[in-house]
Amino acid sequence: LAKTTQPISMDSYEGQEVNITCSHNNIATNDYITWYQQFPSQGPRFIIQGYKTKVTNEVASLFIPADRKSSTLSLPRVSLSDTAVYYCLVATYSSASKIIFGSGTRLSIRP
Amino acid sequence: DAGITQSPRYKITETGRQVTLMCHQTWSHSYMFWYRQDLGHGLRLIYYSAAADITDKGEVSDGYVVSRSKTENFPLTLESATRSQTSVYFCASSEPTGLAGGPGFFGPGTRLTVL
């Protein structure tokens, strides 16, 4: 079971780039890395997913080193609306019961 | 409307009562999940289903029952509610071919209070 470790909280300012790192030392060969965003009183929202190297979409980038033991979510030019909890998830559908979320990182963006 | 819906959004019940939380998705996703989220914590998997009539337990399944007779519905029943089951419950769905490794879409949640 790939356990994930993330910082409990982070602070940044509007317009800055924010990088949130997740450690997953015992990731399995078939595991993918997925990041979610959750606002208060809402369900989590899928942000980005990757297996190795770099993935980029319209809202974020995901950097995964060759050993895949960690991953970094990069949010470019954050705004106040990016204040949320961010979850890193490592799992595969071959073991759906092991799709377990960690405690997440509470990101606070200041003006 | 397309998406994933949960009902009720808020529920207050008493210890010992049976409660059913409903989840409905319009995409015909094969995978569906139930999670609970307690104040200040991450999400914990209760049950999941890989297809209609196929369900399996997650890490905190005691006291809960699920069924999935139709692909689009995945109700969660608390057989005899306890105060420790006071939580926010999220339903989620995915197609494994589209998103390997994690639920793609979450519902808005049901806030359940057991008195």
Best mean pLDDT range from A5-9, A101-105, B27-31: A5-9
Query: What is the domain count for chain B?
Result: 1
DSSP assigned state of B98: T
pLDDT in tens, B55-77: 999 889 999 999 999 999 999 99
- Residue A51 is encoded by which pair of tokens? 């297996």
In one-letter notation, the amino acid at residue B60 is V
Q: Quick one: pLDDT band at residue B41, thresholds 50, 70, 90?
A: confident
Three-class secondary structure of residue A58 per DSSP:
coil
Q: Which residues of A are less than 8 Å from B58 in CB distance?
A: 97
- B62-97 burial, b if ≥16 CB within 10 A, otherwise e? eebebbbeebbebbbebeebeeebbbbbbbbbbebe
Show which of residues 43-82 on chain A sit within 8 Å of chain B, judged by CB atoms.
43-46, 49
Rg of chain B in Å (alpha carbons): 13
Sheet strands side by side (includes A53-56): A18-23, A70-75, A61-64, A53-56
Residue numbers of the domain that contains B93? 4-114
Question: Which domains, ranges and CATH numbers included, belong to chain A?
Answer: 9-95 (2.60.40.10)
Q: Which residues of B are less than 8 Å from A99 in CB distance?
A: 33, 45, 48, 101-103
Handedness of CA B77, B80, B85, B86 (dihedral sign): positive
Of residues A93 and A77, more confidence is placed in A77
Whether residue B98 is predicted with pLDDT greater than 60 in this model: the reply is no
CATH number at residue B77: 2.60.40.10
Answer whether A46 sits within 8 Å of B104, measured CB to CB. Answer: yes
**Partner residue facing A43 (CB), from B58, B96, B108:** B108
Whether residue A48 is predicted with pLDDT greater than 60 in this model: the reply is yes
Q: What is the mean pLDDT of residues B13-27?
A: 96
In one-letter notation, the amino acid at residue B79 is E
| Average pLDDT of the residues of chain A | 91
**Partner residue facing B100 (CB), from A32, A87, A100:** A32
Q: What is the mean pLDDT of residues A3-11?
A: 92
Q: What is the mean pLDDT of residues B28-53?
A: 89
In sequence order, the β-bridge partners of residue A88 are: A35
Q: Which residues of A are less than 8 Å from B57 in CB distance?
A: 97
d(Cα A73, Cα A88) in Å, to the nearest integer? 9
Q: What is the mean pLDDT of residues A77-89?
A: 95
